[in-house]
Amino acid sequence: MEGEAETVVGSCSKPCGPLEDYYIPDYILKPGAQQVLVDHAAPCPVVVFINSRSGGQLGSSLIKTYRELLNEAQVFDLSKEAPDKVLHRLYANLERLKMEGDILAVQIWRTLRLIVAGGDGTASWLLGVVSDLKLSHPPPVATVPLGTGNNLPFSFGWGKKNPSTDQEAVKSFLGLVKHAKEIKIDSWHIILRMRVPEEGPCDPIAPLDLPHSLHAFHRVSSSDSLNMEGYHTFRGGFWNYFSMGMDAEVSYAFHSERKKNPEKFKNQLTNQGTYAKLGLKQGWFCASLSQPSSR
């Protein structure tokens, strides 16, 4: 999705309550909630995912503002609930309601848009979850630049700078989401084949703590057309927007350092400085002699 400018009119000094153009009632979001009659469907219903650990303290503040402006049940903190569970639950409920003839559920299924606030890894995580759902009509995803580099939001017109978290800024962003046009993003799928060993298993041992943006490889079944006799076949996938490839080592070093010392990564400018230092040490301009691969 690519943002287009829009002027948002109106202001309020205290919580304004749900914005009708983006509102989704509880019974759509929560299976078992009491069904209510709604006069009209929101033209741009949204579900919002925010990484509260991104952007220093901005993530938590952004959650608070979105919950003031929308139904609280529409806004999810990714540090507390994974998007795959949320979307599986939501779409299962939508399918049930559609089968029961609920017109609002049909309209929301057609017009739903997702918002994800976080870094590039967080955005890729949600994109991967949407892809795995294999929906006939997948919802478009808008990205709030809440990370350090924010390359993915920038590539699709949402900017690189961490956003303001006040109500006017959030309403302005929602206006952009409402009028944004959809743009495709590349999804790459990998097939990996290994000869069957004479003895012992050949299952790959995955790292204990994979980034959310990566898909673990899954063995395909014996009946799958991708299987070849004499080989074990695995498959996975990743997302690509724009990358020269050699930034992977720097990104991983940054991720590891931030996880080890989160208190040192409180604002975007400091994070970018750390990123630059790691880049100088690990491959952008000169390869570090301490790296075995560079010798």
CATH code at 91?
Answer: 3.40.50
Residue 143 shares a structural domain with residue 288: no
Q: Which domain holds residue 108?
A: 20-179
pLDDT band of residue 277 (cuts 50, 70, 90) is confident
pLDDT number for residue 258:
67
Residue 50 shares a structural domain with residue 143: yes
Residue 132 shares a structural domain with residue 198: no
Instruction: Select the highest-mean-pLDDT range: 25-39, 78-92, 209-223, 262-276.
Output: 78-92
Q: Is 90 inside any structural domain?
A: yes
Residue 227 shares a structural domain with residue 120: no
Q: What is the 3-state secondary structure (H, E, C) of the chain?
A: CECCCCCCCCCCCCCCCCCHHHCCCHHHHCCCCCCCCCCCCCCCCEEEEECCCCCCCHHHHHHHHHHHHCCHHHEEECCCCCHHHHHHHHHHHHHHHHHCCCHHHHHHHHHCEEEEEECHHHHHHHHHHHHHHCCCCCCCEEEEECCCCCHHHHHCCCCCCCCCCCHHHHHHHHHHHHHCECCCCEEEEEEEEEECCCCCCCCCCCCCCCCCCCCCCEECCCCCCCCCCCEEEEEEEEEECCCCCCCHHHHHHHHHHHHHCHHHCCCHHHHHHHHHHHHHHCCCCCCCCCCHHHC
Q: Is 11 inside any structural domain?
A: no
pLDDT number for residue 7:
28
User: What's the pTM?
Assistant: 0.73
Q: Is 131 inside any structural domain?
A: yes
Residue 54 shares a structural domain with residue 162: yes
Residue 210 shares a structural domain with residue 158: no
